Structure 1
């Protein structure tokens, strides 16, 4: 059998078992990543990007401590904002805490020096406004206006007008290029496709600054579009609601410039115009629609394979005129009349009525992950905690957001902030989402020759950026603010300041402030 001394096992220590195989020997000698000291690991992690460091922190407690190292987050902070520090000071709360506090403050618009761009346009009301990376899309009547922010910074033509619609545009949506199978051959997969509906009975798909498809089928104005595409994979469909009371499903794989044979199903059941629609959060084939008579219907579009088919799987009604609705998992939150109602889509039972106002609602938004609802009414908005309202016989808000001179018709809410505005008010107010504490206020328009100010027609918020549109008798204006690189904190709202402000003023030299 040969000399046993030449076997790999013979080199092991005398205390090792003579019956260990080669794999077991390597297992005993293996070193895991957690055997390395934390300083070495932190040095290695300093070459990772932010997402990779966050992923590292979620693996185990030991690597979480490594991922929280000051040296790593100091690099992230200085690379992100490039703010010099005075040599005599160091952030006492740690670099990770400083980074997160700065990022939160930017998300909450807690600065006075954002990058501001103003674009003057025709004196016509603005109906819709969307922010899409470096583009601003807005509508005035039947016209779509596109403002390119990159072109503005380079001093070239910034405004493009799309005029294919022949009547007022009623809805405007953005969908990822990855979801639109019409353009699968295009290599720029990180871009969005614009979809609009109009009173001219049509739906149009816009790509590369021109209309690529025109879908027609409604017997009247098209009033609403689904906020997401329905279904999975390459069989996704777009839903539309019309003044004719029908819901129609459109395939985005149809060929032909006019979208021949794009209409896949017509869903009947509503007796009044379909004003609002939203895709369920727990099942992508479920579509929730509300008609003008406050009737709510749920459709399972996976079962609708032919024109004139009916696939309604649930019905209910809500009190008052519909204002807005949002789906989250198996719930749909419906703002109508003077209250917000939550309906379980699995049973169609009303599980909660909250945000009850004495006057009617004009706007609504929700952050379900934080159980928070915000509603806009006459002169103020109100912040509600869903969990408190479930236990209370008479729901009460956790904060009243006062300060507007008219109805709060514009309202945005995300995990960081609430942004409110109105058509009768020249100011946009910003509030903390958790507490309702005010963080900032700024004007959305200009002063007219007689000294009066116009209100805000439309608003779009995307992270640290906000765009507003307003008009008066003489001209219209779109104002874009970007807080990403702002450095001067709002100091006048000291009662609402966090520890971040003290750290900021303590941590930076005089040359870097303001």
Structure 2
């Protein structure tokens, strides 16, 4: 979907229909790191990569599927957050219901080229999440539905068996998500977030003691902040304030939802939370946890006729919300880049306003 700000309307909506089963994961990668044969203009564009329960991975740009990769023996559940390796022609990792992790060359496409580069075996359950390590781009971290964690070396010479596994660990509870930063791995599972040192594969700290379990989480490593979504609230944690302690203590409770907080975004300035049970998404200050705004996902006259917030996407001062209605879904785009006055009354009963990241101050919140 492409929106024209000057006209205030959607410029184009393109449906990509080649998958014939549920889409499980989506990633955007610059075309410049996928292929070196494209022109300078195209190198600034991004390609969309999707995985599906139809056992395929598809690469899209220019509004169409350009390549299709097959090899998993079941639904493809996860894609790596980054491409593995350095330079051009890097590879993508995928995790499947078949318990394998597979590496693909996205730049392959000519006849005779092999797209599937490597298959890693070792997980006994479906692979839920995959992340590239922050301190070594050749290391890949995967977690399966039984919360078993494996670290793989993509540069290992024996690239077909479990001997490529260079580290293992496990956490308790069903995995919710995981993220890597430098040599640390943050894993949200069950009722807590475990922080694991990938050099020793030992848990160095934990955050979260939710009695209802976690539904989402985000991190801001530059500020040592962790945010977790729970039932009815989100919790904010500061790793720096608990140095020397194995268990972190929350610094703020972001209370204001009537259901599980499944949708969570956090950057250096703000936290955005949403729930399938709520018609509103809430905006909070990342440093203090104070609420800055509350934005409705539907029109005021539609309150009660939707099933709440089904998705959010945030890019700086732009926020996109999606609400699923009884008949049709509703997508709303808000751009606060040049905001200089409070939002309309029905969106916020107070006088707060959104802030610009480049000119943030206490007066702007």
Asked if Structure 1 and Structure 2 have the same fold, meaning a TM-score greater than 0.5 normalized by the shorter chain, the answer is yes
Residue 346 (structure 2) aligns with: none
Q: CA deviation at 1:501?
A: 4.9
- Find 2:327's aligned residue among 457, 466, 474: 474
- Cα distance in structure 1, aligned partners of 2:266 and 2:336: 17
Q: Distance in 2 between matches of 1:498 and 1:446?
A: 30
Aligned to 1:13: none
Match of residue 166 from structure 1: 20
Match of 1:492 in 2: 351
Cα distance in 2 between the residues matched to 1:379 and 1:238: 36
1:95-494 matches, within 5 Å, as: 147-150=1-4, 153=7, 158-181=12-35, 183-185=37-39, 187-256=41-110, 261-303=114-156, 306-308=159-161, 310-392=163-245, 395-446=248-299, 451-489=304-342, 492-493=351-352
Structure 2 distance, partners of 1:450, 1:399, is 29
How far apart, in 2, do the equivalents of 1:306 and 1:274 lie?
18
**Matches of 1:155 and 1:393, distance apart in 2:** 51
Kept after mapping to 2: 8 A contact 1:175/1:194 = yes
SS in structure 2 of the partner of residue 187 of structure 1: helix
What is the CA deviation profile of residues 79-137 of structure 1, one whole-angstrom value per residue up to 9, with x for unaligned ones? xxxxxxxxxxxxxxxxxxxxxxxxxxxxxxxxxxxxxxxxxxxxxxxxxxxxxxxxxxx
| Cα deviation digits, residues 243-276 of structure 1 (max 9, x gap) | 000000001231238x951000000000000000
Structure 1 CA distance, aligned partners of 2:34 and 2:181? Answer: 23
Give me the whole-angstrom Cα distance separating, in 2, the residues matched to 1:438 and 1:312: 44
Question: How far 1:188 sits from its partner (Å)?
Answer: 2.6
Aligned 8 A contact 1:151 1:158 in 2: no
Q: Secondary structure at the match of 1:403?
A: strand
Shift of residue 369 of structure 1? 1.0
The structure richer in strand per residue is 2
Alignment partners' CA distance in 1, 2:125 and 2:212:
25
Shift of 1:355: 2.2
Match of 2:356 in 1: none
Larger radius of gyration: 1
Separation (CA, whole Å) in 1 of partners of 2:322 and 2:56: 25
The normalised TM-score by structure 1 is 0.65
Distance 1:455 1:308 in 2: 45
C-alpha change, 1:214 and 1:151, in structure 2 (3 Å) is farther
Give, in whole Å, the separation in 2 of the partners of 1:421 and 1:260: 44
Instruction: Name structure 2 gaps, 5 residues minimum.
Output: 344-349, 354-359
The residue aligned with 1:22 is none
After TM superposition, give the deviation of residue 486 of structure 1 in Å: 1.4
Question: Is 2:122–2:162's contact at 8 Å kept on the other side of the alignment?
Answer: no
- Does the 8 Å CA contact 1:383/1:399 hold for their aligned counterparts? yes
Q: Is the 8 A contact 1:225 1:277 kept in 2?
A: yes
Instruction: Point out where structure 1 has 5 or more consecutive residues left out of the alignment.
Output: 1-146, 503-514
Larger proportion of helix: 1
Counterpart contact for 2:306–2:324, Cα < 8 Å: no
- Asked if 2 retains the 8 angstrom alpha-carbon contact of 1:377 and 1:408, the reply is yes
User: 1:380 Cα deviation (Å)?
Assistant: 0.4
Larger RCO (alpha carbons 8 Å, 6+ apart) = 1
Q: 1:152 to 1:493 in 2, by over 3 A?
A: closer
Cα gap change, 1:267/1:438 in structure 2, threshold over 3 Å: closer, same or farther?
Answer: same
1:245 and 1:291 in contact (8 A); partners too: yes
Question: What is the CA-CA distance between 1:150 and the residue it aligns to?
Answer: 3.0
Question: 1:192: Cα distance to partner?
Answer: 0.7
Q: Offset at 1:158? A: 1.7
How many equivalent pairs are there?
A: 354
Query: Residue 455 of structure 1: SS of its match in structure 2?
Result: strand
Computed over aligned residues only, the root mean square deviation of the Cα atoms, in angstroms, reads: 2.5
User: How does the TM-score come out when normalised to structure 2?
Assistant: 0.90
Do 1:447 and 1:454's aligned partners in 2 also have CA atoms closer than 8 Å? no
